[in-house]
Amino acid sequence: ATMPPLLSAIANAGRHGVLIKSAVVMERLGQIDAVALDKTGTLTEGAPRITDIRPLSGAALDADALLALAAAAEHPSEHPLGRAVVAAARERGLQVPGVEDFASTPGLGVTATVGGVKVAVGSPERLLRGLSGQRAADAATAAAGLEGQGRTAVLVTLDGVPAGALGIADRLRPDAAATVASLTALTGAAPVLVTGDNPRSAARLAGEVGIIDVRAGLLPADKVAAVRQMENAGHKVLVVGDGVNDAPALAAAHSGIAMGRAGSDLALETADAVVVRDELAAIPAVVALSRRAKRLVV
Ligand code: ADP
Ligand code: MG
């Protein structure tokens, strides 16, 4: 028997390293006419590295102590930023204390109790909200300085008081710009960047890949709202993401694709399709495959 076009398209997608979960998914992928891309772990490799460790003056902590506390709090985290913090502590041979009461808030950061002290590591904007005084001002300056260099800055607070900032850099995937160009050609408009990261580093990266529409500082629900807005404007949206913070948007969109290698379990379960081999360029290829299969059916 000859394989039905949608099934052979699924087999072809598999050859591109993309796992398509059903024939319906394959068919819907051929209908998308707009794309929303996550930044960290999607357009970037998701293997970020700590580049700067900045204890605040007055915090009475050196760089190693700051990093060790941050790594303790991040130890249970599966977020790429959390893994980067833990890896940096390990590289420096630091002893990372055990924690209690770990909690993570997608798009914001983590908290944990270390030896009776509540350590928070996360978005500077969020952690500084409502804080005032010299230490908060110094922390804001340190974070803005790092972000101005295109870094992602995360803040460390101890019992709610800023103790230092970490600078993190992630490489753009080698096929990111080409993928954005292919998706632009397929849909007639450049993809939209939807990221929880800060506007400064988001805008910088967008410029490098040819994205114009940048939505930064988004929480998971804000990503959903961005997708809904595009769909209300009449588009069928493809969301590509990797994180727990992307799962609601992956579910809400017409089609959702997760980056598989470093992607969170929740993103992989929620998405309609998974890029198993780590090539972003497989995504426009699979959309094109789906459109062709559709034409064969009609
Ligand atoms: P993106 O949408 O680009 O994938 P996320 O929504 O995952 O980014 O993260 C957005 C921001 O939330 C990060 O830039 C950081 O400030 C903060 N954040 C999220 N998770 C963590 C974590 N585990 N440790 C520190 N900061 C975090
Ligand atoms: Mg991400």
Complex ipTM value: 0.95
Q: Could you read off the pLDDT of 163-178 as tens digits, one per residue?
A: 999 999 999 999 999 9
- Tell me which residue of 12, 1, 41, 3 sits closest to 291, measured CA to CA: 12
Which residue has a Cα nearest atom 21 of ligand 1? Answer: 109
What is the 3 state secondary structure string of the chain? CCCCHHHHHHHHHHHCCEEECCHHHHHHHCCCCEEEECHHHHHECCCCEEEEEEECCCCCCCHHHHHHHHHHHHCCCCCHHHHHHHHHHHHCCCCCCCCEEEEEECCCEEEEEECCEEEEEECHHHHHCCCCCHHHHHHHHHHHHHHHCCCEEEEEEECCEEEEEEEEECCECCCHHHHHHHHHHHHCCCCEEECCCCHHHHHHHHHHHCCCCEECCCCHHHHHHHHHHHHHCCCCEEEEECCHHHHHHHHHCCEEEEECCCCCHHHHHHCCEEECCCCCCHHHHHHHHHHHHHHHHC
Q: Could you read off the pLDDT of 90-104 as tens digits, one per residue?
A: 999 999 999 999 999
Cα(262) to centroid of ligand 1, in Å? 15
Among 39, 74, 79, 104, the mutation site with the greatest number of ligand 1 atoms within 8 A of its Cβ is 79
In the structure, which protein residues have their CB atom closer than 6 angstroms to any atom of ligand 1? 38-41, 74, 77, 79, 81-82, 107-110, 121-123, 152, 154, 195-197, 243, 245
- Tell me which residue of 199, 241, 198, 196 sits closest to 218, measured CA to CA: 196
pLDDT at 296: 67
Query: What is the chain's mean pLDDT, rounded?
Result: 94
Among 197, 219, 224, 266, the mutation site with the greatest number of ligand 1 atoms within 8 A of its Cβ is 197
Verdict on whether the full-model pTM lies above 0.80: yes
CA-CA distance, 238 to 227, in Å (whole number)? 9
Cα(52) to centroid of ligand 1, in Å? 17
Candidate list 38, 170, 242, 246, residue with the active-site label: 38
All structural domains of the chain? 5-45+171-297 (3.40.50.1000), 49-169 (3.40.1110.10)
Cα(41) to centroid of ligand 2, in Å? 5
Q: Does pLDDT of 47 surpass 80?
A: yes
Cα(107) to centroid of ligand 1, in Å? 5
Q: How confident is the model at residue 298 (pLDDT cuts 50, 70, 90)?
A: low
Q: Could you read off the pLDDT of 238-282 as tens digits, one per residue?
A: 999 999 999 999 999 999 999 998 888 999 999 999 999 989 999
Lookup: tokens for 252: 């809400």
Which residue has a Cα nearest atom 7 of ligand 1? Answer: 107
Q: How confident is the model at residue 184 (pLDDT cuts 50, 70, 90)?
A: very high
CA-CA distance, 277 to 261, in Å (whole number)? 7
Q: How confident is the model at residue 295 (pLDDT cuts 50, 70, 90)?
A: confident
Averaged pLDDT for residues 209-222 = 96
The percent of residues in the chain predicted with pLDDT above 90, rounded, is: 88
Q: Could you read off the pLDDT of 71-128 as tens digits, one per residue?
A: 999 999 988 899 999 999 999 999 999 999 999 998 899 999 999 999 999 999 999 9
Catalytic residue check, 138: no
pLDDT at 139: 97
Q: How confident is the model at residue 1 (pLDDT cuts 50, 70, 90)?
A: low
